[in-house]
Copies of this chain bind each other. A is one copy, B any other.
Amino acid sequence: MLTAEARKTSDTNSPVERLHALVAGDMVKADALIHTRMTSAVPLIPELARHLIDSGGKRLRPLLTLAGARMAGYEGDGHVKLAAAVEFIHTATLLHDDVVDSSILRRGRDAANVVWGNKPSVLVGDFLFSRAFQLMVEAGSLEVLGILSNASAIIAEGEVLQLKSANNLGTTEEHYLNVVSAKTAALFAAAAEAGMALAAPSRTATRAMHEYGQNLGIAFQFVDDALDYSGRQALMGKAVGDDFREAKVTLPVILAYARAADRETRAFWGRVIETGVQAESDLARAIALVQETGAIAETLHRAQGYADAACKALAPLPPSEIKDTLVTVAEFCVERAY
């Protein structure tokens, strides 16, 4: 019988799953390490951490780390430690994010802050963040520690920056892009770069992986923000309208508001986003508006631009199956929205 991990990686339908399959052995080790190192003498810590870590995340960021290390021909076990560290950083930011956004759901389950309250979510986030740095120290590369600590600072700056756009229809496209670049893309970039940097290849090679991750991260977030207003999302078994209900000002909203046909429509956006007062039928109207105005199409079009840039960024790297798969991952990132 196949284990859950093996089932996940034996299904080669999507490029992400093919990438999983190419680093399957490493990912099994990283997953084991994630579970070993989230333990603590304080039982609440693994209990809360497991809630999020075992909730079916795609492990996309650690996957980039493992892929980078493999492409560079790395032969130690530091990349497995880094992969676990990257997932811990990601999990810590999700925990703090959900506290800050007062989120109700995360990956289709009750958010940790709903189950345990804000206090443990903040503190277990701090713990996982510290664990991440312990693992990075064990990986033994100051350069990699630099890459990931820089990314952590940028992520936190992005999170603070995002506070300014909450319930704020005055949010510019530039501000949104700055938030996405910092909050989401910085970790994609660092995760991809860190794995490769461990093998200490050329600056060109690590730079290529950084650019790939950065552009993939932006494309990924743009598509996520578009899917939140899409019927595709419902087909994939995920909730639609999470961002809307939290009155988040994402690119689809910025564009739809800018393209609002009349004062009444602008008043609608003002009510649902700026005051946050929403009736049950409002989501359907918001979805209709972002579709009709072409805001979704424009968001996906821009995502395509970043996905293309991600693919191009890989050009300096020598040919390999992993490289080819990373290209298809970037392409698929936008395709999944259609």
**A interface majority secondary structure:** helix
Q: Does A140 contact B (CB under 8 A)?
A: yes
Q: Is the CB of A146 within 8 A of B137?
A: yes
Kindly supply a per-residue 1/0 record for chain A positions 139-160, scoring 1 wherever the CB is within 8 Å of any chain B CB and 0 otherwise. Answer: 0101001100110110111011
What residue in chain B is nearest A159 (Cβ atoms)? B123
Q: Does A114 contact B (CB under 8 A)?
A: no
Q: A93 CA to B41 CA in the complex, in Å?
A: 20
CB distance from A37 to the nearest CB of B (A): 10
Q: Is the CB of B149 within 8 A of A119?
A: no
Contacts of A163 in B (CB 8 A): 44, 119-120, 123
Q: How many chain A residues have a CB neighbour from B under 8 Å? A: 41
Q: Is the CB of B118 within 8 A of A118?
A: yes
The interface-forming segment of A69-77, A125-133, A271-279, A281-289 is: A125-133
Q: A278 CA to B302 CA in the complex, in Å?
A: 58
Contacts of A127 in B (CB 8 A): 153, 156-157, 160
Q: Does A161 contact B (CB under 8 A)?
A: yes
Neighbour of A40 across the interface among B93, B134, B150, B157, CB < 8 A? B157
Q: A93 CA to B125 CA in the complex, in Å?
A: 12
Max chain B CB contacts within 10 Å: which of A44, A119, A145, A146? A119
Contacts of A129 in B (CB 8 A): 126, 129, 152, 156
CB distance from A187 to the nearest CB of B (A): 12
Q: Is the CB of A157 within 8 A of B122?
A: no
Q: Does A27 contact B (CB under 8 A)?
A: no
What residue in chain B is nearest A156 (Cβ atoms)? B127
Q: Does A32 contact B (CB under 8 A)?
A: no
Q: Does A124 contact B (CB under 8 A)?
A: yes
Kindly supply a per-residue 1/0 record for chain A positions 97-112, scoring 1 wherever the CB is within 8 Å of any chain B CB and 0 otherwise. Answer: 0011000000000000
Neighbour of A120 across the interface among B93, B136, B160, CB < 8 A? B160
6 nearest A-B pairs in the assembled complex, by CB-CB distance = A127-B156, A130-B152, A130-B153, A133-B149, A126-B156, A100-B119
**14 residue pairs bridging A and B, Cβ less than 8 Å apart:** A40-B157, A42-B161, A44-B160, A96-B126, A99-B118, A123-B159, A124-B160, A126-B129, A126-B152, A126-B159, A136-B149, A137-B146, A137-B149, A145-B145
- Name A's B-contacting residues (CB within 8 A): 40-42, 44-45, 93, 96, 99-100, 118-120, 122-127, 129-131, 133-134, 136-137, 140, 142, 145-146, 149-150, 152-153, 155-157, 159-161, 163-164
Q: Given contacts A100-B123, A131-B153, could you give 15 more A-B pairs where the C-beta distance is less than 8 Å?
A: A40-B157, A44-B160, A44-B164, A45-B160, A93-B126, A99-B118, A123-B163, A129-B152, A130-B152, A130-B153, A130-B155, A133-B133, A133-B149, A134-B146, A145-B145
